[in-house]
Every structure is written in structure tokens, then in C-alpha cells.
Structure 1
Amino acid sequence: MDWVRIVLVGPQEPMNLGAVARAMRNFGLSRLYVVNPSPRVGPPWAKEAYWLAVHAEEVLDRAVVVGSLGEALADVQLVVATTGRPREVYPAPVVPASEVPGHVLRAEGEAALVFGRETFGLTNEELELAHVIGTVLTAPEQPSLNLAQAVAIFAYELFKAVQGGARPAREELAEVAALEAFFQDLGRYLLEIGFTDRNRFPYAMRRLRRIFHKARLTPGEVQMLRGLLHQSRYQMGKRDG
């Protein structure tokens, strides 16, 4: 499963990092990206991380450290973010962990599973980079999972799907950078035509993101949509002139 990367955003506990590496090794994953880890974590990785990374020290040694989630998602076609926190509006379709492999296995290019901080998970802005949002059903009395537990559940579901049969027909999806450029164009356009105002803009964009993510846009489709927005803005400028 070398086309799949695990991305940890802001991990705060060294032992969680080591336990994540071990869980990855258990289920055939080896590519770990770490975004802005706590100084307690590293790099260089704290000895506590290696204590928990039983037979998975190589995963830690080869981990890529970056300064932003955008860097961690460079060249990625499919982003699955994970959350256990209820939100008013999610910016992407929400599916249980058992359905995540169906999305990952269809991606023609790189895929990333993104996990947030131990204390509060991923921010709304970070979730907006996801094509799909995965959740785990838990007891309401104790809904939050340990970081390594969450990684293990999603990694297991993916490993089980890969072991269970052939990879389904793949789709070429637009990469994260291309989608974000489109959403920037769309957001500017919405404000220019008065579709929404500054106060309701984040809410409107989250709903529109979810609509377009459901469509699983290809590179050509994103290019066409951006061309449509640019031409529309050009024609409005001619009319106003």
C-alpha cells in the first residue's frame, strides 16, 4: 500500500507517535508524514516514541516532517480526514471507517489519511482540504479515541479491503492544489456576485465544498470549472465597463 500516506497533524505525545508507527507496520503501511509536531515529540524523535514503535523503528526513521498540512498533501489526489467531533456543516461527505477503503482504493494517485491533534483533532480549515471525512462509531459516554487507536482502526479497514480482493477500477482525481485553486476562484466569485456575505461565507463554502467533493472532480473538470468562472468574471467586467 505504498500509495497511501498517514499524516499526523500536531502530535503532542511521543508515545502516541511510536504507537502509530507500530499500528502502521501491523497493517502494511510505511509512509508517515508529521506536521508541526510538539517539541516534546521531536525531531529527532523522543526515546519514548521508539519504546512504543516495536519492530516499526524504520517507520519513524523515514518519517517526513513538514511545516503545514498543505505540504504534507503535496501531489495527493485523495484526502481522507478523520474526526470524532460533531460539526454544524462538514465540508466533505462523512462516511464510517468501514467505507473509507472504497474511496482510497479507487484513487489512481496518492492518497492520504489525516489525523488531528490528541486534544482537539483537526480544525475546520484543515478539514476543508479533505475529499472524504471518516468517523468511528463509539459509545457516547466516551466518544474520543486515542490517536494510535484511530490510526489502527482505519489502517485495519484498509488492509482488510486490500487483502480481500483486487483493487477496483481507479479514477484520476484532481490533486489537492488544483482543487484549492478552484475553491479560491469560486469563493472570490461568490462574494463578487453577492451570493453570500462575509459573515456567512465560511458556511456557504463548506456546503459547496461538500457538493463538489461528492462529484470526485477530475483534473479536466476542475480546469473547465475554473475557465467558466474566469470567463464569467471577464464578461461581467465588460458589461460593467
Structure 2
Amino acid sequence: MTEQPIPGEITVAVVDAETPGNVGTIARAMKNFGLSELVLVDPPSLDPDGEAYGFAGRAREDILPNATEITFDSLVENYYTIGCTATTNEDPQSHVRYPAMTPDELPDHLSGVDSDIAIVFGRERVGLVNDELARIDALCSIPASEEYPSLNLGQAATVICYELRSLTVQSTQHPDKLHERVAESELERLHDQFESYLVAVDHPKPKRNKAARMFRRLLGRAHPTPRETRTLQGLLREGTQRSAQSERTGETDK
């Protein structure tokens, strides 16, 4: 299997943000998903006691205070740029940049880029204007409901940063393997116990094979874990033992 190329460093750029809170929200999303470099074009004032730092969470400790201010000219001259927008309002006949990739397509697209990369977000109300889009290398648009496709700037940045996690996050709080299927040998023991259980509870003989097949199909779809299998084994074992005890008690009473 061929290893995926490692892209250049990924920076997040915010152009002419109107509210400090959105800058803080973007910094927090970056921190969540392994991004650390933030550059700002014509930013609002970021007061350490204001909403930008209030919304930034732990990103107030490093990403936000280390953010640098640059010009848009410098941005497009020094980075491979991906402009992010909620809607394009464009088609192949009327366009500035067409087509736009979706966020889930970004990792594959960027894996082949060996220069520094900037993920560029525009203004809260109008995003990136056409003159800016014309100078950007590629466009990414978030597919949202046609009835209300406009996303808050911080929401859009969170979606994009999440989709980039395969390139930026080394490990997460999730285990590498969320579901471990039990070994086939243990699963066969469970099937054997189920068949013994059917005998113990005196399930009608003509129906036992059908019940065993249904149980096998059920577990085949469920892919039980070792713990789930042990629990079922315990229940069947207890049911079998109690049935046997009940039968012996009945014989004694006679």
C-alpha cells in the first residue's frame, strides 16, 4: 500500500473578520483538530480581556496570542490557498472559481501539495469577494441545506478543521479500534451453549434447528464484542443450570 504524501504546513487565514468572537471560535476549532498557525488579514482588535479570548478556550494560551497579521497580497504570494465559502451561487456558465470541492475532499487534495497551505475564511456577511476568489488557488464549499445554506463563520471553520484532522491530528481521545469483534472460536462456544440451552428449556425438537439458525444469523449481523459474548454465555449457562435444578427439584417432589 502506497503511503499518502505529507502536505506542507497548514495555516488558517481569516480575512477581515468583523467580530473578535469568531476569531476566537476559529482558534478553538484549530486547537481541537491539531492546527496551530493562524494568520489574520485586517483583523478586529483582539483584547485579551475580550470575547476573542473568551471564546478561544485553551487556544487563548498559544494560537490566539501567536496569531500574525499579514496582507492579502502576502497571503496569496506565500501560500497555496484554499478559499472556504458556504455557497458559490455559481455554475459552469457563470463562475469565478468553479467547481468547488467539498470539505471531505480536502485531505486527498492537499496531500499532493508540498508547499505551505492556507485555508482561507472570509467575512461573516459576504465571505470572500470575487476579486479575492479570483486570486485563490482552489475553492471549498460546505454543502448545506438549500433552504438555509449560510453558516456562521465559526461553524464553517469547525467543519473544515474537522475534515482536515487526518492530516493534522496524530491521536485522539477515541481508541484506535472502537469495536472489537469476538474471536470465531468463542462465538462457536456461544452457539453450542445456545443449543444446550434449547435442550435444557425443552424447546420443541422440530424448532431447535430453526432457532439455532436464527440465533446464528442474528449474531452474524451484530458482530458481538468479547464482553458481550461473555455476558450472553453467562446468561445461557445460568438459564441452563436453573432449568436443570428445576427439573431435579420436580423429580424429588415426585
In the alignment, which of 34, 58, 61 is matched to residue 40 of structure 2? Answer: 34
- Measured after TM superposition, the shift of residue 71 of structure 1 is 1.6
The CA RMSD over aligned residues, in Å, is 2.2
Q: Deviations over 1:25-66 (max 9, x none)?
A: 0000011111112xxx31556611000010001111010112
Unaligned runs of 5+ in 2: 1-6, 171-254
* CA deviation profile, 1:174-212 (whole Å, cap 9, x unmatched): xxxxxxxxxxxxxxxxxxxxxxxxxxxxxxxxxxxxxxx
SS state at 1:28 partner: coil
Distance in 2 (alpha carbons) for counterparts of 1:110 and 1:92: 23
Rate the CA distance shift 1:162–1:45 in 2: closer, same or farther, 3 A.
Answer: closer
1:103 deviates by 1.7
What runs of 5+ residues in structure 1 fail to find an aligned partner? 165-241
* Structure label with greater radius of gyration: 2
Please say if 1:50 is aligned against 2:56.
Answer: no
How far apart, in 2, do the equivalents of 1:90 and 1:125 lie? 9
Residues 90-132 of structure 1, C-alpha deviation per residue, up to 9 Å, x if partnerless? 3354111111121212111101111110010001111112221
- The answer to whether the 8 A contact 1:92-1:128 is kept is no
**Which of 60, 73, 82 lines up with 2:84 in the alignment?**
82
Query: What is the one-letter code of the residue matched to 1:59?
Result: I
Q: How many residues align?
A: 160
Tell me the TM-score normalised to structure 1 length: 0.61
Query: What is the deviation of 1:161?
Result: 4.9
Matched, 1:109 2:115: yes
2:74 is aligned to 71
Deviates more, 1:111-120 or 1:82-91: 82-91
Query: For 1:204-223, what aligned pairs fall within 5 Å after superposition?
Result: none
Percent sequence identity over matched residues? 31
1:143 matches 2:146: no
Q: Determine helix, strand or coil for the equivalent of 1:122.
A: coil
Q: Deviations over 1:58-96 (max 9, x none)?
A: 111010112x312223421x2111122313213354111
How far 1:17 moved relative to its partner? 0.8
